[in-house]
Amino acid sequence: MAQTDSKVLVLGALAGVAGVSLAVVCYQSFRSRRRGSCPGFQFHRTNEQGYGLTLVDGPGLPSGQAEVLDRLEALIQCVSELKDEMKALKNALPSLQDQVREEFRGREEARRTGFLHRTTPTRRKRTAATVAEARATGRSSEEAESEGGYMTALTDSEEDELSDAEERDQEHPVDKLSLLIEQIDRLHQGCESDKRESLNILLEQREEFGQNSTFLWRLTRAYCDVHDISLTLEEKKTYAETGKKVGEEAVSLNPTCAESHQWYAIMCGIMAEYDTIQNKIKNGYVFKDHLDKAIELKPQDPLSYYLLGRWCYAVSQLSWIERKVASTLFGEPPSATVEDALKNFLKVEELHPAYSKLNYVFLAKCYKDLGQCEKAKKMCQAACSMSAESKENEEAQKELSLLCPALGV
């Protein structure tokens, strides 16, 4: 309450008290004129602020008038007490505004620290729902009470804070997944121990995020990474089989995710190393279909073109027996030429110059097979200029050690 409004209230009350006092004085004057005819009671002062009634000798008053005087005495006593309260309120007015401000400041601080920081996301959402219900029923926000007793009234500013808190709560799971993905992507670029740690972390979080395709394709990638660094054939095969199953789950969960198709195709290609010729050819078809889908969904990803180039080059190098088996089992063997492979490797270089050491190696192989030795030599030189720190680059270095002498590099 503002100080001006408080003063108006006090002055109004004092005016009322003055009016009642004036009525009492008038009644005293009237009573003195009629003392001779009906003297039964007289007024006297009982204290500094109050009045009293005393029975005196006289003819007596009618019963109705005596009852009126009794009620009047009670009224005067109440007025006296009211005057005392008004005087106390008047004395408190100078400091009232400061007290109100201090109390409001304390409540505001307690609300911020207690409500926003100590309540759970679920309770904050319930409180926000109460605000929405109040709006729908036409009540003001001040009339809305929070569910759970955290607040007795909600102001407009508090509604805004609740809305922000609700949005943060809804974003919280996404933020947690984002942090996890950032960590996993960083570990994917690390050493062998980092790659194993990445797989372990993903397996620990699978129960929470296992229905998210962004999570699942990274789990597929982690299985691929650990497959590559495993030493025994049994371990490699186990990781390849499990990774393929996870990749298939990721594709089923979100068919529009390019990375899910991409890494599922990679796992199909890896499984070809451990399957029979029949399954190897079958996985080759699956590999190609999912790579085409990945490129359709994300045409600017150089990895998909690199993988497709590898597939085309491998198909172009199939033996007569392998082609005959494919024709027998599937009616038509897979078809691709060295030119198809070269086209995809050049697309990789266009999208991402110096993409990888192996891409230069396969460019050199394609040019060599096509009889373009000078271009093949340039690709070999470009590959040699890149470091061989990763396992993939070590593989590329082995290929170069055979290719360079053949080209006279």
Residue 404, SS3 per DSSP: helix
pLDDT tens, per residue, the chain with 409 residues: 445 555 555 556 556 655 656 555 555 555 555 544 444 444 444 444 444 444 444 445 566 666 777 777 777 777 777 777 777 767 766 666 677 667 666 665 655 554 444 344 444 444 444 444 444 444 444 444 444 433 333 444 444 544 454 454 444 455 888 999 999 999 999 899 999 999 999 999 999 999 999 999 999 999 999 999 999 999 999 999 999 999 999 999 999 999 999 999 999 999 988 887 777 778 888 999 999 999 999 999 999 999 999 999 988 988 887 777 777 766 677 789 999 999 999 999 999 999 999 999 999 999 999 999 999 999 999 998 887 667 777 788 888 888 888 888 7
- Measured between alpha carbons, how far is 210 from 206 in angstroms, rounded to an integer? 5
Say what the pLDDT of residue 31 is. Answer: 53
To 10 degrees, what angle do helices 373-384 and 391-407 make? Answer: 140
To 10 degrees, what angle do helices 357-369 and 391-407 make? Answer: 30
Report the amino acid identity of residue 209.
F
Say what the pLDDT of residue 172 is. Answer: 45
Which phi and psi (to 5°) does residue 129 adopt?
A: -65, -35
Say what the pLDDT of residue 116 is. Answer: 40
Say what the pLDDT of residue 118 is. Answer: 39
Could you identify the residue written with the tokens 């990945």? 294
- Report the sign of the C-alpha dihedral through residues 49, 54, 58, 61, in that order: positive
The answer to whether 319 and 343 are in contact (CB under 8 A) is no
> What DSSP line would sit under 299-339, residue for residue?
TT-HHHHHHHHHHHHHHHT--HHHHHHHHHHHSS-----HH
Say what the pLDDT of residue 104 is. Answer: 61
Say what the pLDDT of residue 10 is. Answer: 53
Say what the pLDDT of residue 409 is. Answer: 73
Report the amino acid identity of residue 239.
Y
- Range list of H helices, 210-299: 213-229, 233-253, 258-271, 277-297
Say what the pLDDT of residue 3 is. Answer: 52
Say what the pLDDT of residue 39 is. Answer: 46
Q: Which residues of 261-281 are buried (b: 16+ CB within 10 A; e: fewer)?
A: bbbbbbbbbbbbeeeeeeebb
* Model pLDDT for residues 239-248, shown as the tens digit of each residue: 999 999 999 9
- Measured between alpha carbons, how far is 45 from 68 in angstroms, rounded to an integer? 19
Q: Two tokens at 93?
A: 């007015």
Say what the pLDDT of residue 408 is. Answer: 80
* Model pLDDT for residues 55-92, shown as the tens digit of each residue: 444 445 566 666 777 777 777 777 777 777 777 767 76
- Our measurement of the distance from residue 292's CA atom to the centroid of its chain's CA atoms, rounded to an integer in Å, reads 34
